[in-house]
Amino acid sequence: MAIISIASTKGGVGKTSLAFSLAKDLGYRYATNDMSVTLNKYKNARYYPNNIPLYPDTVYDFGGFVDKNSDEILRESDIIILPTTNDLNSIMKSLILIKNFREKTILVFANMIDNPNDAAIIREKIHEHFPNLAFTYLRRTKLLKNALETGMSATELYEMNNQTRHLYKQAYAEYHKILKLFTTDGRYFKEKS
């Protein structure tokens, strides 16, 4: 049982893409305060324009703002996943969000990484201010986009056939590190249950 929030005040960093696949792979509800393409792709997807309710077993996909309501949900979340891309604006916005929620378990999710050095740069910039923050990354890949477009989760798409297993091998391994946190031996999952 977990409440997972995917948040960033920066647009276009991959919140919806990750939230959809995670929710579907975990069999969780997907809840958003943002009109989103996921709504007709997943039967457990719900849109709440305001007063988004707190539920267990839910992945929250918050639009690019934090209001009173999303602030409450973020404070009740077991984990906040913070997608961050390699640009100053995105990193600055992430640092502010981390500062505002520093008592929470936060996973910085460096997304759309073109080479490993980019991930290292983001990690360094974050760790300069918050040395012990959990960090993971996902390369630039069509995995999440193609999954969402077809209505499949990343796992469903990856496992479709030998070709997709080959095509998405590395990206899926990176995505799976996040998924794993919430299954059997998941670190964050265990802490709170």
Ligand X SMILES: Nc1ncnc2c1ncn2[C@@H]1O[C@H](COP(=O)(O)OP(=O)(O)OP(=O)(O)O)[C@@H](O)[C@H]1O
Let me know: does 96 contact 9? Beta carbons within 8 Å.
yes
- With CB under 6 A as the contact rule, the residue among 5, 15, 101, 182 that binds ligand X is 15
Nearer residue to Mg ion within complex by CB, 70 or 164 = 70
Q: Minimal distance in Å, beta carbon 42 to ligand X?
A: 14
12 binds, among Mg ion, ligand X, none (CB under 5 to 8 A by kind): ligand X
If binding is defined by CB under 6 A, does position 94 make contact with ligand X?
no
Q: Is 144 in the site for ligand X (CB under 6 A)?
A: yes
Per-residue b/e over 52-81, b at no fewer than 16 CB within 10 Å? Answer: beeeeebbbbbbeebeebbeebbeebbbbb
**What is the C-alpha to C-alpha distance for residues 125 and 127, in angstroms, rounded to an integer?**
6
Nearer to ligand X, 34 or 71 (CB): 34
Tokens representing 6 are 């995917």
CB of 34 to ligand X, least distance (A): 6
CA–CA distance, 145 with 16 (Å, rounded to integer): 10
Q: Which is nearer to ligand X, 144 or 189 (CB)?
A: 144
